[in-house]
């Protein structure tokens, strides 16, 4: 099986943002042409993250929630429990995929997942992410280094949306955020939704050999050894 069709899926639960970001950078710096791609599913404690082009005026009143200047694209956003993060660590050169094509496939993945829940969603050419009606339900922000991507997508599932009122989300003063729990009547399990998301990611990104792990790799980019 060609390595470009292999992906390691890591189900990581709740992770500190700074520690996770550091590991993404280390993974990207240390990976080789023979390192399988990885997708990390996780949640973060409450945190605002400011993209490379982020403007300070879009942080209205952070309060006690930390604001972290990060290296992804885009402006300010919020992460917190009940939001599903999928960090996409892909060798784009090996996949022969442009960054624009990756963003499009990530947006399509979210749209496909929401369609499973009978929710009609769409993307915008001028504002990356996924929208339902006039509200935003998912954000996409990436960094490419050495031909490889990291960071990824954030899908609001069942979270406290109030912190979004403390910022101009994604740099838009009047942007209203929404979440799956407000659009779907049945109870939602974030782990189940994460596995459904992975199925659509595998399909849209061309992975036919997913390997599921529940820990960080040791060393970076390799699955844990088995006894």
Q: Tens of pLDDT along 144-171?
A: 999 999 999 999 999 999 999 999 999 8
Confidence of residue 2 (pLDDT cuts 50, 70, 90): confident
| DSSP 8-class letter at 72 | S
The domain 3-213 belongs to what CATH superfamily? Bira Bifunctional Protein; Domain 2 (3.30.930.10)
Write out the catalytic residue numbers: 170
Given this model, what pLDDT does residue 223 score? 38
Residue 226 pLDDT > 80: no
Is residue 153 classed as helix, strand or coil in its secondary structure? strand
Confidence of residue 28 (pLDDT cuts 50, 70, 90): very high
More confident residue, 8 or 221: 8
Confidence of residue 54 (pLDDT cuts 50, 70, 90): confident
Residue 220 pLDDT > 80: no
Residue 224 pLDDT > 60: no
For 178, phi then psi, to 5°, come to: -135, 180
Half-sphere exposure of 14 (CA within 13 A, CB side): 9
Separation CA 192–CA 205 (nearest Å): 20
pLDDT tens for 61-115 read: 999 999 999 999 889 999 999 999 999 999 999 999 999 999 999 999 999 999 9
Separation CA 203–CA 54 (nearest Å): 33
pLDDT tens for 201-211 read: 999 999 998 99
pTM of the predicted model, to two decimals?
A: 0.93
- Which candidate, 18, 11, 12, 23, places its Cα nearest to that of 221? 23
On whether the CB atoms of residues 89 and 172 are closer than 8 A, the answer is no
Given this model, what pLDDT does residue 116 score? 95
| DSSP 8-class letter at 74 | S
Output the DSSP codes for 88-132: EE-BHHHHT--HHHHHHHHHHHHHHHHHHTT---EEETTEEEEEE
For 38-54, what is the mean pLDDT? Answer: 95
Separation CA 24–CA 86 (nearest Å): 12
Given this model, what pLDDT does residue 178 score? 98
For 40-62, what is the mean pLDDT? Answer: 93
Distances (CA, A) of 205 to 52, 108, 163, 216: 26, 10, 32, 22
Sheet holding 76-79, edge to edge: 67-69, 47-50, 76-79
Confidence of residue 143 (pLDDT cuts 50, 70, 90): very high
Given this model, what pLDDT does residue 1 score? 62
Residues 6+ apart with CB under 8 A from 61: 166
| DSSP 8-class letter at 203 | H
Residues 6+ apart with CB under 8 A from 94: 3, 4, 33
Residue 219 pLDDT > 70: no
Separation CA 37–CA 9 (nearest Å): 9
For 143, phi then psi, to 5°, come to: -130, 140
């Amino acid at each position: 099986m060609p390595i470009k069709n292999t992906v390691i899926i890591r189900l990581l639960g709740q992770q500190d943002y700074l520690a996770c970001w550091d590991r993404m950078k280390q993974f990207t710096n240390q990976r080789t042409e023979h390192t399988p791609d990885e997708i990390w599913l996780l949640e973060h404690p409450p945190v605002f993250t400011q993209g490379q082009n982020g403007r300070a005026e879009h942080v209205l009143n952070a309060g006690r929630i930390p604001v972290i200047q990060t290296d992804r694209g885009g402006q300010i956003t919020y992460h917190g429990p009940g939001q599903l993060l999928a960090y996409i660590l892909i060798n784009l050169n090996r996949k022969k995929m442009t960054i624009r094509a990756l963003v499009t496939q990530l947006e399509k993945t979210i749209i496909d997942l929401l369609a499973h829940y009978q929710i009609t969603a769409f993307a915008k050419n001028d504002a990356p992410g996924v929208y339902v009606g006039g509200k935003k339900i998912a954000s996409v922000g990436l960094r490419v280094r050495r031909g490889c991507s990291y960071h990824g997508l954030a899908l609001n599932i069942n979270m406290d949306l109030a912190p979004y009122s403390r910022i101009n989300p994604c740099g838009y003063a009047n942007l209203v955020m929404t979440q799956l729990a407000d659009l779907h009547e049945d109870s939602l399990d974030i782990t189940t939704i994460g596995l459904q998301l992975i199925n659509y990611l595998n399909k849209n990104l061309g992975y036919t050999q997913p390997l599921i792990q529940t820990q960080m790799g040791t060393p970076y980019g390799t699955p844990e050894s088995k006894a």
